[in-house]
Structures are given as C-alpha cells and as structure tokens.
Amino acid sequence: MTPFPQLPPDRSLPRQRHAAARAQLQRYATSRRERVVQRWRGAAVAMGLGLGLAVAGGAAAGTVYLTRGPIPTVNGRLDVAHAPDFIRVASSGLAVGYVPKRYILPSGPGTPANGLVGEIAPVYGPDLKTLVGHMYPGIGYVALGTSLRSVSCTPESDEENGTTSTLPCPSVTETVPDVAGMSTPEGVVALQEAGVLAVVENAHSRAVPGGHIVRTSPRAGARVPARTPVVVVNSLGP
Amino acid sequence: MGPEKLTDAELWQRVATHDGEAFGQLFDRHARAVYNYCFRRTADWSTAEDLTSVVFLEAWRRRRDVRPYDDSLLPWLLGVANNAVRNAERARRRYRRLLAKLPRSVDLAAHDVEVDARVDEERTMHEILGRIEHLRQEERDVLALCDWSGLSMDQASRALGIPEGTVKSRLARARAQLRDLEALHTDSGHMVEVNPE
C-alpha cells in the first residue's frame, strides 16, 4: 500500500489572474457603487421626500411590523440610519414597488448608500410579499415576465480611473471589435469598452502565442445587443 | 519611506467606506492563503482561482458581518472560503458575471513545467481527499483550517462560529483517525501473526 501522500506546497495565484481579480474587486467596491447610489437616490427623490415611514401589514398580535417608504434625507444626504425595511423604488417617475433594504443599505454610519452591486434585487408590491419585478444593476426596473432587452433604459456613466465611459442599454446594438491577436486582458477591456460582456475560454493554437486572443464568437464586425456575452478564445500556445 | 502598514482591521474600516485600494491591499495580503485553502478542499487549481475571487466578493457582500479577529481578517475569510467550497457551484453562479471577466490561467501557457507540476499536485490532492473521505465534514473542516492552513484552534473556532472546545475535540478525532489510517497503510505490508493454540 502506498504511504499517505505529502500535502502539495503553497502556491500563489497566477500573476495575471491575481492582477485581474484585484482590479475587479477594486472596481466592485468603488465605481459600480456610485452608479447604484445615483440610481437609488434618483428613485428616492423622484418619489418625493418627507413621506416618512409607513407601517405595512396587519396589526394583529404577533405580526411582524415592516416599514416601507423612500429613504429619508437630511441636508440633501440619504439618512440611511432611518431607512425603512423596504425601500420604495420608482421607474420613470412612477412607483413600481419596494425593495428589501438589505439590497441597498450601506455598510456603516457615515457611509453613503450602496446597492449591493452585482445582485439583482427583487421588487415587491405594496403587500411586501408579491413579487412584481426586479431591479437590475446598471439597467433599472424590469417587470416580471418582461424581456430585459425590451426595457427602456437610460445609459449611465461608469467612473473608473477618473474617466467616464458609457454603458449602453441591452436594447442598443453594438459591433464586436476586432481583438484577435491582442493580449487577452487588453482584448477583454476593449470588448467591455465596446459594451459587450467578454467570456474567456482557452484553446491551443499554433499560430497565436499563449495569452493572446485567437478569435471571438461572434466574430469581429458582428452586430449584437449590448451586454451580450462574447466568447474570447484565449490561446494556450501549441 | 514606504507607505505605513495598516492592520487588517484598519484596512477593513476603509473598505467599509468604499476604499477600493484598501480592498486591493487586503486581497494582496490574503489571496494566497485563501487560494491554497480552496485548492486543498477541491483538488483543482482552476476552481480554487474562481473561489478565491468569490470569497472576496462574498466578503464585500457580507461586510457588515465582518469581525477582524486579533487584527487578522484571515480566520473570517477562511470561514467564508469554507462555505464557498461547500457550495462551490452556487457561489460561482452568483458571481458568474464578474468571474467571466477574469482571464483564465493565462500566464500558465508559457510554463509547461509548471502546468505539469500543477497537474501532479491536483492528482496528489485528489488522493488525499479520497483518503479522508470517511471523516465527517465537520472534522475535515477543522483539519483543513488548523493542520493545512495553520489557524490556531481559537482562530478556527472564529472561522466556523463554533466553540473552541468543539474544534479541539473534532480535531483530535480527525487526527486520531488519520494516525490509524497511516498505521494501517504502513502495516498492511506485514504478515499478520496468528498464534496457533
């Protein structure tokens, strides 16, 4: 019988993966937050201020009381400490429903509200139980049973490294840029800037050196709806 | 003069105010430990890469629950990693949009020797995981946290949210079973003596 094997030694994350993951985390923690804050703030303001908290649900003994309404503001800043359990949200100035505050509340006192970026928040009706739709990060309200692409959407700014780029809506058509031959991280950034979502897959290639892009699918020049996933074939060398 | 070295707790306070650079520094500091922990639980380097990102994204999502202990965030991060490993598929689905943006083992392509080494390590780790398969999940958790990742029993109890005494007894059981297992493997080549009456 073979002896008990030795535990493999520690390794570090591959360098490029480490750098890419770090950059993503930084963006996740900062710039995307700004977008969501703006959107929620807009929603709260659109619904009018000072309506205060309302009590929802019955008043029978043992009932859990839930509050609902907009996030109150103090001196123009969101007063998150007094936010209700369900935050009222609006789309094009019309109330659409209520989102549980855990999706949009901040981490601590003195910090601005943020929207738990990357998560799709459920939107409930006035009874706070019936699901009526979802809030999509970067897009906004999408009613239940509605196609994401059919939703009217206002392009928003994404502040990264001091520059402002525009994220197109799913209803907008984009052209896949030609990134073949570029280094994979560069190509991924180029695709993101073009408004499509890059999904990296690996393949061996004799013609293209490792770490560079062999081709994309759909190919360069194809017209696709914005935010469509585009497969980037990354070369692993021969 | 270099930048002052902040403790985990100080950095995490900055993270709570959306300081991306502070989050990056914490990632630099702990990514390796999380990565190796995830590998040892999954025996797959590429899954471990994804799960490392998942752990930090999850840490951000649950930032209000974060309690740096002894000024170190690592026990808490490994606790998150432990859950991420258990629910690897669900965790990856949750963050698939973000994970899709990360290049996949790109810089391995140029180093075939390293690729071979990694494949060997995955095979070895598979074997180790196979051999401890009969341990209870809870015992494997404390074994991986204490013996494989070097947490103290106190830190492991924080990571798992269980009393230190429980960690101690689980670890003792796991180690005893491993000793039996090793003894079994060592002895199995010998003849068993039977004393004829």
pLDDT in tens, B148-188: 999 999 999 988 989 999 999 999 999 998 888 777 655 44
Return d(Cα B39, Cα A7) in angstroms, integer: 11
The whole-angstrom separation of Cα A196 and Cα A208 is 23
Q: What per-residue string of b and e applies to B71-82 under the rule 16 or more CB within 10 Å gives b?
A: ebbbbbbbbbbb
Q: Distance between CA B113 and CA B149 in Å, rounded?
A: 26
Highest mean pLDDT: which range of A3-17, A121-135, B22-36, B108-122: B22-36
Contacts with A116 from chain B: Cβ below 8 Å: 61
Judged on CB neighbours under 10 Å (0-12, 13-18, 19+), A116 is middle
Q: Shortest CA distance to A192 belongs to which of B103, B178, B160, B148?
A: B103
pLDDT computed for residue A151 by the predictor: 62
- Rounded distance between C-alpha atoms, residue B28 and residue B5, angstroms: 13
Complex ipTM: 0.80
Buried b (16+ CB within 10 A) or exposed e, B135-147: beeebbbbbbbbe
A180: left (phi over 0), alpha (psi -120 to 50) or beta: beta
Interface of B with A in 13-32 (CB under 8 A): 15-21, 23-24, 27-28, 31-32
pLDDT of A215 strictly over 70: yes
Residue A51 is predicted with a pLDDT of 29
- Test mutation, A2, A6, A11, A204, chain B, max B CBs within 10 A: A11
**Residues of chain A with C-beta less than 8 angstroms from the C-beta of B143:** none
Q: Which of residues 137-156 of B touch A (CB under 8 A)?
A: 148
Tens-place pLDDT, residues B122-131: 999 999 998 8
Q: Quick one: closest CA in A to B21, which residue? A: A26
Dist CA A237 CA A211 (whole Å): 8
Q: Do B106 and A211 touch (CB under 8 A)?
A: yes
Q: Residue holding tokens 């798992």?
A: B160
CA-angle at A141, arms to A139 and A144, nearest 5°: 125
Q: State the nearest Cα–Cα gap between A60 and chain B, in angstroms.
A: 32
Q: Are the beta carbons of B168 and B176 closer than 8 angstroms?
A: no
Point out the residue among A29, A118, A236 whose CB comes nearest to the CB of B18.
A29
Over pLDDT 70: what percentage of chain A?
Answer: 59
**Of the listed ranges B112-121, B158-167, B188-197, the one predicted with least confidence:** B188-197
Mutation target for A interface from B42, B106, B108, B116: give the one with most A CBs within 10 A.
B106
Give one DSSP letter per residue of A69-129, joined into a string: EPPPEETTEE-GGG--SEEEEEETTEEEEEEEGGGT--SSTTPPP---TT-PEEEE-TTSS
Chain A residues in contact with B20 (beta carbon < 8 A): 25-27, 29-31
**Mutate which of B18, B127, B134, B181 to test chain A, going by most A C-beta atoms within 10 A?**
B18
Pick from A136, A16, A38: which is nearest to B101 by CA? A16
**Residues A100-105: contacts with CB under 8 Å, at least 24 apart:** A100/A124, A103/A135, A104/A36, A104/A40, A104/A71, A105/A80
